[in-house]
Structure 1
Amino acid sequence: MNALIIGGGIGGLTAAIALRRAGIDATVYERTPELREVGAGITLWANAIAALGQLELAEPIMALGMPELHGSIRAANGQVLTRLDNSALRGQFGAPSIAIHRADLHSKLLSALGEQHVVLGRQITRFEEGGAGVTAFFADGSQARGDVLVGADGLHSLVRAQLHGPQPPVYAGYTAWRAVVPFDHARLTPGETWGRGVRFGQVGLANGLAYWFATQNVPAGQRKPGAEKAELLRNLRGWHAPVEDLVRAADESQILRNDIFDRPPLAQWGTGRVTLLGDAAHPMTPNLGQGACQAIEDAIVLMKALRAANDLPAALRQYEAQRMARTRWLVAQSRRVGEVGQWQNSVAVGLRALAAKYVLPAMQSRQLRQIVAYQV
């Protein structure tokens, strides 16, 4: 069996690794001329680590990250609203949660796959089914033919657009800044800080680095090249230590800014010999840290569906059916968490602080267990 995987991100690489481990000849086609990830951090929860364990990648990837054992939600003045202890999750589910640099994760996945199985500079323009196969057509005039095609080409997936039409993604109402900086871990206050329409998060990474992010309610498309750092420092003036110091530690060129989008769930991901995976299928806001985790889960379920399949279209529909309810729930939950975190009405923010103290811990614990207890 020959699988064409469109997109060389975390989901596409993991899917190619999984399929090749199952004896399927999988090749990744990536539109960019060079494979590299952005300078940002990522959280891999226990469910993703357990899934990676099925590819014998859990240990080497954990070695590149830092265990996320605890964190807090704070008010802008530093008052702790609630604490989160993840250490119990490892004992219960057999895998930790880690924070890792996206570039380190991407590099490890590429190494595990082998660069010879990635074709760069291939922007898909369309695909055609016929003759018991599917053909991908690329912008440079080249073609590739396979038994199945997997669209793992992200939020703005061209494979999804051909399947379901070119609907635009849905803006969540806020933008996000991110950076990775050298920083003393002893000074960090891991977790999130909630203000009025503004949030800030921080976590330690390996090698003396820290990852931080900030959000703000603004209209889409409001980037300010060369002035993002100054904008952030205005938004976060007077917040508890070390929030402002983390922002100051970043060079302007290191600060990434992206508006936050997701999409409404699909009734069916693919048709025939074509399916979707990761953000192409179920893009979600980053509020639960599950975007990459769900792409990794997708890859394992896809592998198991195709491994012994006689009817390939039926196997792809089986994969989709197994994944759709879970990812639909996570898209909705992630958007809901983001909406609450971005409240800016003073009365609502006060009520949110009370809920964080007295209601959120139990809700958060149940939600986390529902997320990480899933077995692919």
Structure 2
Amino acid sequence: MDVVIIGAGIGGLALANGLVADGHRVRVLERAPGPRTDGAAVTIFGNGAAAAAGLGVPLDGLGGDVETLEFRTQDGRPFARADLRVARRHTGFGVATVPRAAILERFAGALPAQTVRYGCAVSDPRVGPEGVTVAGESADVLVGADGYRSVVRRAVLDGAPAIRNGWVSWQGLTRSLPELAGDVHARCLVGPAGLCGLMPAGAGLLQWWFDVPASPPDDGAVLAWLRTRFASYAEPVGELLAGLDESDVQPYPHVLHRVPARWGTGPATLLGDAAHAFPPSQAQGANQALEDAWLLRRALGTPGDPATALRRYERIRSRRVRRISRLAASEVTNLPPGPLTRLAGRLLTPALTGRLHLATIRQCSSVLNDDRP
């Protein structure tokens, strides 16, 4: 089968590896002039790690392992703690924070030469009953893995853009707070100003972000604005902000797509944010893209009409991803804890909290449930 994938992000490159291993002819068209090195890090949970391994590109050895995740109030008092080692015991895969560029490098490096074509912007993909035409070339199947502003989504589904909900993550990946960066414990401080997250990302790097429901002043002085906004938060928030430069801070707007049961038409479909962009508050964006790639590979490996296989893939994944999309859209983890949250934090052990978190992930996982299209 001849497959064209639009977008050389995590999901697109992961899918390409799985399809190449199955003997398909694969072309990945990417508008960027070269491999992407922008972006900070992503947290890979057991479902994403299992999907990557199932696609033939395991993420072993990348990033920094995360064994515990602790939530604290703005004054530094803990109110919830999760033991993430539960994931490894139950799935065989742990939790790690991995620089996005490192994942892309591994995925692209595992592909045959010339599989990825950089500097190839696609503006008008055409889909017919018997195949697709992209950039003047024909193919049997088209996969849009080109992000929440997807050209393919507009062509095969609808023109409705992903909607911003007002929240923005101001994030970065730097050599900051070496004691925390070299540890296996992650920390989030949440209060009226928003949430500050701190996660070790390996090799002395720290992934940090500030989730806020407001916009900085028009003068572009984002760092000064963050320092003022989070001035009342306990250390090490102030120490982190004091050591950053303006160029360290990157915006990541929180957007949300409607997640329909059908993601395409004929021999065309979508993957990752092109199908179901949602806020990063549950850290499942990259994991769900890997889940999509894992199940889509299975679907295209079944005999019969590719379009029929794509619709089966979409029905299964849409049911799974709607659950995590709704939870992420609530931004619940970015809000100060209420009385019930504090009570649950006192009653639940870290191990039980870890098991509850894994149960939530399992509900939105195709790979952990061995879904078959």
Match of 2:210 in 1: 214
Which amino acid in structure 2 is aligned with residue 88 of structure 1? Answer: V
Match of 2:38, SS state, is coil
Match of 2:365 in 1: none
Match of 2:316 in 1: 322
Shift of 1:330: 1.1
Contact 1:287 1:334 in 2 (8 A): yes
Is the alpha carbon distance of 1:292 and 1:168 closer, same or farther for their aligned partners in structure 2, counting shifts above 3 Å?
A: same
Shift of 1:174: 1.2
Q: Normalized against structure 2, the TM-score is what? A: 0.90
Paired with 2:126 and 2:286, the residues of 1 have a C-alpha distance of 28
Q: 1:204 aligns with which of 200, 220, 226?
A: 200
Match of 1:233, SS state, is helix
Shift of 1:343: 3.7
Shift of 1:223: 6.6
**Structure 2 portions without partners, runs of 5+:** 363-367
Q: 1:252 aligns with which of 219, 226, 246?
A: 246
Match of 2:36, SS state, is coil
Paired with 2:327 and 2:335, the residues of 1 have a C-alpha distance of 16
**Structure 1 portions without partners, runs of 5+:** 138-142
Is the alpha carbon distance of 1:213 and 1:224 closer, same or farther for their aligned partners in structure 2, counting shifts above 3 Å?
A: farther
Paired with 2:204 and 2:152, the residues of 1 have a C-alpha distance of 39
Q: 2:221 aligns with which of 222, 227, 250?
A: 227
Q: 1:297 aligns with which of 291, 294, 300?
A: 291
Shift of 1:123: 1.8
Match of 1:303, SS state, is helix
Q: Point out the more displaced range, 266-275 or 162-171.
A: 162-171
Paired with 2:343 and 2:37, the residues of 1 have a C-alpha distance of 39
Is the alpha carbon distance of 1:267 and 1:225 closer, same or farther for their aligned partners in structure 2, counting shifts above 3 Å?
A: farther
Shift of 1:55: 3.0
Query: In the alignment, does 2:101 pair up with 1:103?
Result: yes
Paired with 1:325 and 1:131, the residues of 2 have a C-alpha distance of 26
Which amino acid in structure 2 is aligned with residue 369 of structure 1? Answer: A
Shift of 1:77: 0.8
Match of 2:191 in 1: 195
Match of 1:36 in 2: 36
Q: Point out the more displaced range, 202-211 or 156-165.
A: 156-165
Q: 1:311 aligns with which of 305, 320, 327?
A: 305
Paired with 2:235 and 2:370, the residues of 1 have a C-alpha distance of 39
Q: Point out the more displaced range, 108-117 or 14-23.
A: 108-117
Which amino acid in structure 1 is aligned with residue 329 of structure 2? Answer: R
Contact 2:73 2:191 in 1 (8 A): yes
Is the alpha carbon distance of 1:343 and 1:55 closer, same or farther for their aligned partners in structure 2, counting shifts above 3 Å?
A: closer
Paired with 1:71 and 1:136, the residues of 2 have a C-alpha distance of 44
Cα RMSD (Å): 2.2
Match of 1:297, SS state, is helix
Match of 2:123, SS state, is strand
Q: Point out the more displaced range, 362-371 or 224-233.
A: 362-371
Contact 2:83 2:354 in 1 (8 A): no
Once the two structures are superposed, residues 263-319 of structure 1 have per-residue CA deviations (whole angstroms, 9 ceiling, x without a partner) of 121131011011000100111111111111111111111111112332111111121
Shift of 1:39: 3.7
Query: In the alignment, does 2:333 pair up with 1:341?
Result: yes
Paired with 1:39 and 1:130, the residues of 2 have a C-alpha distance of 35
Paired with 1:295 and 1:275, the residues of 2 have a C-alpha distance of 13
- Which stretches of structure 1, 4 residues or longer, exceed 3 Å deviation after superposition? 222-226, 341-344, 348-365, 372-376
Paired with 1:312 and 1:94, the residues of 2 have a C-alpha distance of 32
Paired with 1:77 and 1:37, the residues of 2 have a C-alpha distance of 35
